[in-house]
Amino acid sequence: MSETRYTHDEWSSEQSDATVTVDGHELSVAFWDSADEGEADTANDDPPVVFLHGIPTWSFLWRDVAPAVAEATDRRVIVPDLLGYGNSAMHDGFDRSVRAQELMLRDLLEELEIDEFALVAHDIGGGAAVRYAAHRPDEVTDLVMANAVCYDSWPVDFITNLGLPEVADRDHGAVIGQVEGAFSQGVYAEEADDAFVEGMVAPWDSEEGQTSLSRNAVATNTNHTTEIDYGDISADLLCLWGADDTFQPLEYGERLAEEVGGEVIELDAYHWVVEDRPERFAEEVSQFVSK
């Protein structure tokens, strides 16, 4: 795997921007595109690989994995910031649920003229991913779910509490400290990488960011992953799961693989499996989409 080790400022500087329309709102979406970075053969006809992050992360979560997959597979790799996250739109006045993120993704991919792709998702990105794969099965060739929400596995108390009305007005330092702790104390290693923790916290370290985080948290709607028919998913499925996760237990990945049909690979990792095992994660994804 290439030793990219981006800082969050470096990652942000390499992002592109697009405007999508969701529920009548025109919204800015930031995304990292390997085609802009020379990381993949843009003439390759194989379907691109799209990565979706969760809460309270942003596309920076994939800073090591996405470039490595682009290099290993020679495929175009696209990594958007969900609406309300990272460098995408954060202002008030629009839905940030996984239903809305599904619509955002379709509009973004239409603008990029992509109609078939592999989808890799973590946390609530998985909620948007299973909705997309169930509603548009002809578009998703491969689906990798990594400690991802599905069925009624969510929300969790930590996120629910961030969505309480008073969070938007709570002492800024207290909120940032709470989020920082989730990353610094939530990795498998004895000590978290400083660049990871700083990068994950950065989007929320402002008044707008703190309010957006609260809005994102309150938008975690379990109905959006219980209402879909998982039997409609036809993509090849891999559940690449940090086996020691308490937020999204392994049993949900096993249930998904049994119902949809697919493989479960357990990794020695917690919820932030992408940070805990980036090399193994990139290798497994590259092999799976290249089979």
Average pLDDT over residues 81-100: 98
The radius of gyration of the chain's CA atoms, rounded to the nearest angstrom, is 17
Give the DSSP per-residue string, 236-282. Answer: EEEEEEETT-SSS-HHHHHHHIIIIIEEEEEES--S-HHHHSHHHHH
The total number of residues written for the chain in this structure: 291
Q: What is the CB neighbour count within 10 angstroms for residue 224?
A: 22
Of the candidates 84, 77, 87, the residue with the CA atom closest to the CA atom of residue 22: 84
Model pTM? 0.95
Give the pLDDT confidence score for residue 168 in this predicted structure: 62
For 138, phi then psi, to 5°, come to -75, -15
Write the pLDDT tens digit of every residue in 176-231: 999 999 999 999 999 999 999 999 999 999 999 999 999 999 999 999 999 999 99
Closest CA to 230 of 131, 158, 152, 162: 131
- C-alpha pair distances (Å), 171 with each of 161, 168, 174, 205, 216: 14, 9, 5, 12, 18
pLDDT digits (tens, 9 = 90+) for 101-156: 999 999 999 999 999 999 999 999 999 999 999 999 999 999 999 999 999 999 99
Residue 55 region by backbone torsions, left for phi larger than 0, else alpha for psi between -120 and 50, else beta: beta
Residue 264: what are its φ and ψ, rounded to 5°? -115, 125
Q: Which pLDDT does position 147 carry in this prediction? A: 98
The pLDDT confidence band at residue 175, using thresholds 50, 70 and 90, is confident
Digit-coded pLDDT (tens) for 227-270: 999 999 999 999 999 999 999 999 999 999 999 999 999 999 99
Q: Which residues contact 170 (CB under 8 A, 6 or more apart)?
A: 210
- What is the DSSP code (8-state) at residue 99? H
Residues 78-85, mean pLDDT to the nearest whole number: 98
Asked if the model's pLDDT at residue 67 lies above 90, the reply is: yes
Q: What is the pLDDT of residue 1?
A: 44
pLDDT for position 33: 98
How far is it, in rounded angstroms, from Cα 205 to Cα 173? 9
Q: Helices 124-135 and 98-111, interaxial angle, to 10°?
A: 60
**What fold does the segment set 8-153+222-289 form as a domain?**
Rossmann fold (3.40.50)
Indicate whether 163 pLDDT > 90: no
- Distance, in Å, from the CA atom of 209 to the CA atom of 215, rounded to the nearest integer, reads 10
User: Confidence band (pLDDT; 50, 70, 90) for 3?
Assistant: low
Whether pLDDT at 34 is above 60: yes
Beta bridge partners, 266, equal 241
- By DSSP bridging, strand 25-33 and strand 16-22 are antiparallel
Average pLDDT, stretch 70-84?
Answer: 98
